[in-house]
């Protein structure tokens, strides 16, 4: 899908500008947190959840963040936006006990120690588990955000997503740095 390619390319370009110290074309440079929030929003747009993941047909899509996170300000920019006719709701400081109430769960690098407990708590649940930092894909996450040179890239654990009954867009998979089956 051309729209996905454009959005991800824009996020990657903004990431390059940020990491290169650019931003002269804008009054204020885009922060790394804003780029990550953009990625999270697009992961929501290009993931399909089973109908059983929602309490009702119009129920919101919930993006959760484990622990306290520096993305909070950037995530405020995507809170309440529409994703496939659902309102995206952002919840912060989510614990392993609360994780099954999420549709996407982002685990910041500072909270990586929680990945084992979160992965166990989510076993079989239709929750897209996203980890920040290289090596998280080996810890059971479905999508890993990682630095790649001067930009931000992502890797996908497709087998883990399928076990959770989630369908990831083939267009998104084409843009991934790595896709594990």
What average pLDDT does the segment 137-141 reach? 84
Q: How many domains does the chain have?
A: 1
pLDDT of residue 23: 39
- The model's pLDDT over 140-173, given as tens digits with 9 standing for 90+, comes to 899 999 988 889 999 999 999 999 999 999 999 9
Could you tell me where the DSSP H helices lie in 20-157? 32-45, 72-75, 115-121
- Enter the pTM of the model: 0.84
What average pLDDT does the segment 38-67 reach? 95
172-175 own/partner pairs: CB under 8 Å, 24+ apart: 172/4, 172/8, 172/42, 172/43, 172/46, 172/47, 175/4, 175/5, 175/8
Domain coverage including residue 43:
2-180
- The model's pLDDT over 31-51, given as tens digits with 9 standing for 90+, comes to 889 999 999 999 999 999 999
pLDDT of residue 158: 95
CA distance 71 to 93: 12
- 160 Cβ contact partners less than 8 Å away, ≥ 6 residues apart: 129, 140, 141, 142
Looking at residue 145, which CATH number applies to its domain?
3.40.50.2300
């Amino acid at each position: 899908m051309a729209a996905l390619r454009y959005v991800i390319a824009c996020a990657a370009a903004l990431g390059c500008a940020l990491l290169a110290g650019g931003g002269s074309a804008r009054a204020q440079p885009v922060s790394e947190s804003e780029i990550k929030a953009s990625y999270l929003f697009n992961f929501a747009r290009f993931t399909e959840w089973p109908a059983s993941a929602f309490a009702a047909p119009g129920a919101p899509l919930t993006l959760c963040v484990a622990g306290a996170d520096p993305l909070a300000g950037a995530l405020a920019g995507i809170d309440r936006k529409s994703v496939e006719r659902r309102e995206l709701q952002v919840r912060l400081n989510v614990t392993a006990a609360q994780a099954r109430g999420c549709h996407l769960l982002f685990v910041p690098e500072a909270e990586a120690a929680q990945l084992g407990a979160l992965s166990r708590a989510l076993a079989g649940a239709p929750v897209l588990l996203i980890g920040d930092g290289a090596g998280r894909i080996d810890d059971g996450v479905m999508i890993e955000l990682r630095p790649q040179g001067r930009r931000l890239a992502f890797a996908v654990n497709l087998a883990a997503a399928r076990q959770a009954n989630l369908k990831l867009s083939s267009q998104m998979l084409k843009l991934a740095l790595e896709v594990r089956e």
